[in-house]
Amino acid sequence: MTTFSVGEHDFLLDGSPHQILSGALHYFRIQPEQWADRIHKARLMGLNTIETYVAWNAHEPVEGQWSWEGGLDLAAFLKAVADEGMHAIVRPAPYICAEWDNGGLPAWLFGEKAAGVRRDEPVFMAAVQAYLRRVYEVIEPLQIHHGGPVILVQIENEYGAYGSDPEYLRKLVDITSSAGITVPLTTVDQPEDGMLAAGSLPGLLRTGSFGSRSPERLATLRRHQPTGPLMCMEYWNGWFDDWGTPHHTTDAEASAADLDALLGSGASVNLYMLCGGTNFGLTNGANDKGTYEPIVTSYDYDAPLDEAGHPTAKYWAFREVIGRYTELPGEVPPGSSPAPVLDSPFSAGIDLLDAVEASGTWARRDHLPTMDEMGQFRGQAVYRTRIEPRADAELSVAEVRDRALVLIDGSLVGALDRARKVCSVALPAGSHELTLLVEDQGRVDYGPRLGEPKGLIGPAVLRPGGAGEPVEITDWSYLPVPGDPRPLLSGEPVCGRAARDGRPVLRRGELAVAEPADLFLDTGGWGAGVVWFNEVCLGRFWDLGPQRTLYVPSPLVRTGPNDVVVLDLHPRAGARIATLAEPILDSPIAG
């Protein structure tokens, strides 16, 4: 039986000192057919371990509806790690951050029943216990002493940056231990005294998260972890992007030099990320530290392996450093050829709002409902009411989460925009039908705004431009936009109803491919919206930049025609379906 434990100064593998050389791969951000490729390249880089989070809201998006299917098969992922002869670290949280929608916490947790999250609160803890028991049923038999790859399991995630409830942490430990998890348990926090003190418990191995000044950060960690091995559980070797800001990169040689200092001290490491992957679907998170900043679809992270799994300059620089501390297993195979360059017109297009209205049934409320109240936790929703201002007026809402197109009698007149702090729009006098198409752009993944509802936050008020008192609008009809609107393109009676006056559209076309290969879909001629490729939602696009191409993994591509559906909120004339040979993640930022 293989053993793994925490010693006085080192991790101990079968009683001998062991330095963990790990890289982060999130199974839910990479197609399962590509797991083995990314894991193999990790080993060729010199790593001996793969780390992953578990995203609760991916497995249980609706309460009680659980899935381990397809790309969510954690057991299959861990077995792929074992097949490569590597160890695994699993971080089930329940909160993961990870620039992932709501930090991995399901939106349904924050409904009427919930009184608080990430603390010892009965409703939350009951849900957490049910979640962790499911996860640990997978992990328990795959621990290293059972012949599996798992050597460490993490309790919570950077908890010292959020709360300080030791009873909550103790209960997480009890749930974990009672499920038969006997490998060492860890916590992670940024190397600040207050966070390290609040984010852990005696008996748990504290680890750090940082991306520079390693000797200094490790010294801070050592003050709080007097014995045992030191480990950077998240060595930030890159960074993520949000819409409207430049693409983030870090210098490969500088990062490698700092990694050398970290490993030279004897500390263990987990590279965050080794390969970031993609926020498929509408799974990207957002930050809000005074300004809302939604994260782009690509989670490339400027990592050693890019979004498509190709080695970068950082891969080679890190491999050289790692080779000073371990024997490298072999040569890395040559890179792949450029992706095919393809072009095709859209063959069909319909007005999105007309199609949604024709296919759904309006519901009514005597107050402004959130999307969460509608049961619409991601995507878009349509709000409608009638207004009769006697003079030009201004519509304002307390908050928009996160963007809303405003239409008067079917014509676009403006937009409410959370990121730009635009919560009002001018409206003309008269009797009008007021329609708002509201778009969720990603739930906040870090800090006190976790779990906030999406949609429009009331009150909604009509303020006359001249004399007169503001009037609250309380009579609303609403209609969720289907999470998968593709069937609207073939349904009656809206088939063939073309878009008009720059209104949002749903378009379809085909892309002929000679043989399956990675593709980079060019969104340069589009506005903002969502793309489906052969029934899989690739994610969001926005001409705001910096991301211009969407990665289409080869397992999603078929020989012959491939179906492409685009929901475009700001359509342009002449838009086409096209691919590029290389990804573009740093296109100019729109003004």
- Which positions are catalytic? 158, 234
The separation between CA 355 and the C-alpha centre of its own chain, rounded to angstroms, equals 29
Cβ neighbors of 487 (< 8 A, separation 6 or more) are: none
Task: Report helix angle 313-322 to 252-264, nearest 10.
Answer: 20
The separation between CA 67 and the C-alpha centre of its own chain, rounded to angstroms, equals 18
Looking only at the bridges linking them, the beta strands covering 528-533 and 560-568 are antiparallel
Distance CA 332, CA 313 (A): 13
Bridge partners of 51, per DSSP, are 24, 89
Cβ neighbors of 467 (< 8 A, separation 6 or more) are: none
Q: What is the DSSP string of 484-516?
A: S-GGGGT-TTTTT----TT--EEEEEEEEESS-
Distance CA 306, CA 315 (A): 9
Task: Report helix angle 74-83 to 122-139, nearest 10.
Answer: 40
Return the exposure string of 513-528: e unless at least 16 CB atoms fall within 10 Å of the residue's CB, then b. beeebbbbbbbeebbb
Task: Answer yes or no: are the C-beta atoms of 269 and 262 closer than 8 Å.
Answer: yes
Distance CA 542, CA 549 (A): 10
Distance CA 555, CA 30 (A): 11
| Residue 218 host element (H or E) | helix 214-224
| Three-class secondary structure of residue 458 per DSSP | strand
Question: What would the two tokens of residue 542 be?
Answer: 């926005």
Give the chain's length: 591
**Phi/psi at 294 (nearest 5 deg)?**
-70, 140
Question: What would the two tokens of residue 469 be?
Answer: 């008192």
